[in-house]
Amino acid sequence: MTTGRRGRLTVYFGAAPGVGKTYAMLDEALRRCARGTDVVIGLVETHGRAATIAKIGDLEMVPRRLVEHRGSTLTELDVQAVLERAPDVALVDELAHTNAPGSEHAKRWQDVHDLLDAGIDVVTTVNVQHLASLTDDVEAITGVRQRETVPDQVVRDADQIQLVDLSPEQLRRRLAHGNVYRAEQIDASLSSYFRVGNLTALRELALLWLADRVDDALTRYRADHAIGGTWPARERIVVAVTGGPETETLLRRAARIAQRAAGTELLAVHVLPTDGLPSTPPATIAAHRALAESLGGTFHTVVGEDVPSAVVDFARGVNATMMVVGVSRHPVWRQALLGSSSAEIARLSGAIDVHLVTHEQARGGVRASRYSSLSPKRRIAGWLTAVLIPVLLTLVLVLFGRDEENLPSHLMIYLAGVVAVALVGGLWPALVTSLVSFALLNWFFTEPTGVLTIDQPEDVVALVVFLLVAGSVASVVDLAARRTTQAYRARAEASTLAALSRSVLSGEDTAQAIVQRLAQTFAMTDVRLEARADDRAAWTVVAHERRATEAGSGAAPAGVGKTRAGAAGSVEVGAGEDGTVTEVAIDDRHRLVLAGRVLPASDRQVVEAFGAQAGIVLEHRRLREQAAQAEVLERTENTRTALLAAVSHDLRTPLAVIRTAVDGLASPDVELDREDRDVLTATIADSTYRLERLIGNLLDLSRLQTGAVRPTLRAASLEEVVPIAVEPWLSDLVLDVPEDLPLVHTDPGLFERVVANVVSNAVRHSPPGAKVLFTASAARDSLELRVADSGPGVPDDRKATMFEPFQRLDDTSAGGLGLGLAVASGLADAVGARIAAEDTPGGGLTMVLTVPREASLDSEPGDGMVQ
């Protein structure tokens, strides 16, 4: 055996029990033995099948490991024995098996990894129903929840997977012939798990899962060998998503095409410009992503300067067989001059089929928006400068430098004016400036002047070139200005949304954080996050942020709460006293209401993103509250379960003793002398006291868990507490409590219960005849009470849990429910005291009670007070 390498894993994979995986594994083992390979059987489950037992033949078997569990002897793979035997190949059946308690690993596949790490090749078996990712699907098909599973990646990482396949009819015949189960199990199996429908569905699951694994291997092979062409080994449909209104039509049409062949993958791809700035609102892209995923596909975003090339490159990269593209929305004249993306994709597609889909927007002349984010003042200034700058330049040149020979210089001056207008007002004012400049240059500076005619051909060329250059420069300057604005806006939006995301992860009150950030970011006077129980219920405010206006009014906007219903993600606008009221519907039961200035369209997109974030925040809060409620319910249920498990004995014992004693006293058939009656009476009294303390502890624990304990803290002396608390155990105590100790700040009644429970616990666990030492001493700001016993003590690893309910020193103790210390700890917390456990020198346990002094609270008002 070679120890310098990791072993190879071969998996025989089947759709159901009985298809012949183990038999095929043994067949391979015999072939390897015939070739001289050292093969041993680590573990093979024959299930009593004669053919499988016969197939083992002379193969060497490593003895199994015996495990005792609940009175039964179980057999497991002996990993250490296989490692010591060190074969070339080991057979290990049933990879998903769960090992018996006490094994080194919980799962058999972990044992297999140990063998592989040692350089031993392993051949194993597994059924599709045992793959972890398919557990829910298998349960939906068969109605049986698989308890034994193996992570998919363990099987995927196998060096070789062999499919062992039988048709449902063949498998049912094998079952009917008794080749799978015993005769008494055949009828039940055929009518339940091994129905034709179940087997067909499981077989399809197995084939599809294995096809995915084969497809991964094919992808790696193509990448390793730099194969760029498409290999149509599996149907994959790529949908080119523009973000326009036709996207939904394209996705649904592609999904219908994908449904025609089982196993077809649907991939939607959206191309971003190389500057990374989205040309489609993020909310729209998010909606398209959700639609693609709801149709069973995946959504991908790529960056590319040339959209058709980016789409085709993506399709080739995923080995697509078809691309679904929408017909161009641009008018015919534009397609004739500039072409269309769909035609270019078809030209570049090569061996990939292209499916063109028509839609309502096709050739509708939909023009890309050229809306600039300039303010109204900038737009007005742009149009004014578009007229004034050419006129002023002409006036200056006519008065100071009119010379028809300097036309090139004049052209450069006017071109500078066009650039200035583009920077101020954008593209269209700059184009108007170039046209006005063209006319003025023709009128004043080209021969003959004063008319719109030109004598010199070179002047005609100069003016035409000027017009083209001016238009081009204006377009470039406008595009650069808009991209810069978009970049600043995108950075600000990303920063704001990132801050919100951090607030979600940090767990702060993010609903309030959202409305505050909305009010600050968009300069709104009033922002509310509202919710309602159902469609007919009134809106209630979840979070509210009100910013002071110039008038100082604190009134809520009149429009809030009187708005129209809208679809999720929609933005609706109304009027209110504080200005325009804008709504963002998060979902059917939540909305954002903003009052103040009118929001431009670009800001509304960000508000929608805020709305989506608010939805995540609300869902996060709801899940967090549910988790907290579930935790409380779980604790309560655990307490109830433990109580029911323990109370059956600990309540019944004193009741049985009382009943027996009372029957003895009341029986007319038994003559009792005075001594016997005193004994029975004392027994009744002792059992009644035990029962009273047990019920008292249960009630105290219930009050603590429900928060019903409300202490009354005041100055008190230990003389009010200690004598009453220790009275039942005075004969078992050694008291050392000085009389000059200062007052403490506590609830005397509740603190007496704390001391009583601690002392009771110490006496109960002390050896017979041993005394418990009770001492008290004063510190700078507290009093310390120490109760030391000489009992068995408590291990360090149990000291952290000994104050929880139902904790005992051992499982057989009949001294109570284990509530005393839990009640003592809870009551100590309620009255401002602390309780801790220490080891007693020489053996035993010392409980340390620390209670604050009255004087220390006088110097620190409010410390330890309970309202």
Beta strands 298-303 and 540-546 are unpaired
Query: Which amino acid appears at position 329 of this protein?
Result: R
If the chain, 867 residues long, is cut into consecutive pieces of 10 residues, what is the mean pLDDT of each piece? 76 90 92 92 88 88 86 87 93 91 89 93 93 84 84 88 89 83 72 82 84 65 56 76 83 84 81 64 82 86 81 83 82 61 84 82 46 64 85 82 66 81 79 81 74 66 71 72 71 68 57 76 82 78 73 38 38 49 74 76 65 70 80 68 54 76 80 82 82 68 61 88 88 90 89 88 88 92 92 82 62 47 80 90 90 65 36
Mind giving me the DSSP string for 20-65? SHHHHHHHHHHHHHHTT--EEEEE---TT-HHHHHHHTT-EEPPPE
CB 112, CB 79: distance < 8 Å = no
Report the C-alpha gap between 161 and 760 in whole angstroms.
66
d(Cα 833, Cα 825) in Å, to the nearest integer?
Answer: 9
| β-pair type (236-241, 322-326) | parallel
CA 68 – CA 629 distance, rounded (Å): 40
Residue ranges of alpha helices (H) inside 349-406 are: 376-401
Angstrom distance (rounded) from CA 658 to CA 642: 25
Determine phi and psi for 148, rounding to 5 degrees: -100, 115
680 contact partners, CB below 8 Å, separation of at least 6: 661, 664, 665, 672
Q: Is the peptide bond before 448 cis (omega within 30 degrees of 0)?
A: yes
Q: What is the pTM of this model?
A: 0.37
Query: Is residue 252 helix, strand or coil?
Result: helix
Which own/partner pairs from 65-73 qualify as long-range (CB within 8 Å, at least 24 positions apart)? 67/100, 67/101, 67/102, 67/103, 69/100, 69/101, 69/102
Distance CA 358, CA 329 (A): 10
Residue 560 token pair: 């809030």
Spatial separation of the C-alpha atoms in residues 502 and 762, rounded to whole Å: 51
Which positions ≥6 away from 563 have C-beta within 8 Å? 572, 574, 581, 583, 591, 593
* pLDDT on residue 10: 94
Q: Could you say which DSSP state residue 242 is in?
A: -
Q: From CA 667, how far away is CA 49, in angstroms rounded?
A: 68
Give the Cα separation of 563 and 248 in Å (integer): 29
In this predicted structure, what is the pLDDT of residue 508? 53
Dihedrals phi, psi of 625, to nearest 5 degrees: -65, -40
Contacts 24+ apart (CB under 8 A), 491-495: 493/606, 493/609
Cα separation, 801 vs 793, whole angstroms: 14
CA-based torsion, 56, 57, 59, 65: positive or negative: positive
Both tokens assigned to 413: 């001056």
Contact 466, 445 (CB under 8 A): no
Are 789 and 774 in contact, with CB atoms under 8 Å apart?
Answer: no
Question: What sections of 108-246 are H helices per DSSP?
Answer: 108-117, 135-142, 152-156, 168-176, 183-191, 196-224
User: How far, in Å, CA of 255 to CA of 248, rounded?
Assistant: 11
Q: Which residues pair with 326 in a beta bridge?
A: 357
353 Cβ neighbours under 8 A, 6+ residues apart: 321, 322, 323
Judge contact between 398 and 435, C-beta under 8 A. no
The burial class, CB within 10 Å (0-12 / 13-18 / 19+), for 632 is exposed
Of 254, 235, 257, 230, nearest to 326 by C-alpha is 254
Which alpha helices (DSSP H) does 667-739 contain, by range? 674-706, 722-726
SS (H, E, C) 166-183: CCHHHHHHHHHCCCCCCH
- The token duo for 303 is 């960056």
Residues in the chain: 867
Measured CA to CA, the distance from residue 426 to residue 482 in angstroms comes to 8
The β-bridge partners of 528 are 544, 593
